[in-house]
Chains A and B, each alone.
Chain A
């Protein structure tokens, strides 16, 4: 339920754009997640070896090497200089995400995302309390900790517990008890901490966020003047703090969402009935006037009304 109209989140968007229109990027994202997972699964399941390996490292069509740059970095600080194949693979992945937004990995590829999304959906349905909410920047401390432990123990430390690799590798190579890590993340996000894992703690997300700081692909709140303060975008955004500077900015503030935490998931675009948000590039200089502030639409006014 939302604060202002007491109607369910996204109801106006569905009315204005139809169900498909109001879930466009969500559907595309699920298709993308399924696509990247199935690329890895058609080998072991049907003997079609287009892609071998897993998200940590893979070889596509026998020619394209890909390596997780965060794992490569841990390997480097652990004291191993990888072969050229792994370095090239990490470079390709790194450059790609640096251009399209590091955390595109989180929302469009990472197999843990559907798990935490499901946990959040259930959390919301059952009206659970927010629970433990560590600072959003705790993930950077986690990132520093992982690199420190990698250097101190001389191992690729995060791979001993990383739920992403546990799940992805488990699905492709056999899971053992690794599902326990995945269940752990689900339970944490469901019961203990709303959006706890991806939104606060995961060092992989932190790494990719930093990687994509200067990403070209960005979401803009260019039609922010049309915002009717329904708050639906804040309700669906997995990193809601990224919206405020763009949406609530004045005429001189950029409407681009430039925070490295933004995952480019596009849910804000889906859920906005007046189409405030769009995908664009970071050099987009289209003038975008801020909202005309009246007592009824100012943020503080809305808060007080609630």
Chain B
């Protein structure tokens, strides 16, 4: 009497095809919605939300992070939290921190990376100075006290990679005419993005120096420009290297010994 024992009829096949196509269609529709959500949430990672040290690039991160929160639990400074839905934060349940609230203290043993069971935080990161959570950018030069010519220096002093990630670059203070400006200057190749500078900026409210994700903070190097002071190779290998017109023997510079008389002289030129 069970359905399985009945011989299959044509009507069963039709029924099956109808049910199957209905199921496929419904789920395809749901899948499109889910796919849209998965890609749009990934794009919507807000600029002030920083990933923990060693986090893979955002695209890879969302394939790897299972949102278990073990990194959050093992952070001794309660820096990290899991994003909550609807709060201005990255994909629900993924770990992040906001530097102005609690920065990363850059523990030597990097407990958050050790805790990660999936490698969404790359276990290859063994020196915290190699972490690249973001890049500090002195974003408001109109209000930064140092930029105004005062000596605040707090962001520079608190930097765990002081004199490498942030230096104070001296320049002339044109306003007073006889003082110096000590400009906090970030060097992206050394900055870990820990956010201690952003946290300690003395300005009320938002910080003048902010840690931004690399994708926002950094431009791409222009491959089609050659930096002549770094690379001597000409763009085209066969280019003829003409002699530079330096004063000296064999040139039309009469001042230098061995110089010769030019074939013609410009009116009002030298020697008249």
Contacts and interface: CB of A to CB of B under 8 A. Distances in A.
Contacts of A137: 23
A149 B35 contact: yes
Contact of B26 (A138, A170, A248): A138
Contact of B118 (A83, A144, A149, A169): A83
A165 to B, nearest CB: 7
Contacts of B86: 176-178
What range describes how many residues of A lie at the interface? 35 or more
B27 A172 contact: no
A86 B67 CA distance: 12
A108 B105 CA distance: 41
A157 B66 CA distance: 11
What range describes how many residues of B lie at the interface? 35 or more
Contacts, number: 175
A176 B91 CA distance: 12
A57 interface: yes
A70 B55 CA distance: 22
A151 B145 CA distance: 50
Contact of B66 (A135, A159, A160, A180): A159
Contact of A174 (B38, B59, B81, B91): B81
Given A173-B72, A175-B84, A83 B116 contact: yes
B28 interface: yes
Interface in A59-107: 59, 65, 67-68, 71-72, 75, 78-83, 85-86, 89
A156 B23 contact: no
B119 A177 contact: no
A296 to B, nearest CB: 16
Interface string B24-59: 101110110011011101100000000000000001
Given A52-B70, A56-B68, A153-B42, 15 more contacts: A54-B68, A57-B67, A57-B117, A80-B119, A80-B120, A149-B34, A149-B35, A153-B35, A155-B39, A155-B42, A172-B69, A178-B84, A178-B92, A248-B2, A249-B2
Q: Which 5 A-B pairs have the closest CB atoms?
A: A176-B84, A57-B68, A177-B86, A78-B63, A83-B119
Interface of B: 1-2, 19, 22-24, 26-28, 30-31, 34-35, 37-39, 41-42, 59-60, 62-70, 72-74, 81-87, 91-93, 115-120, 123
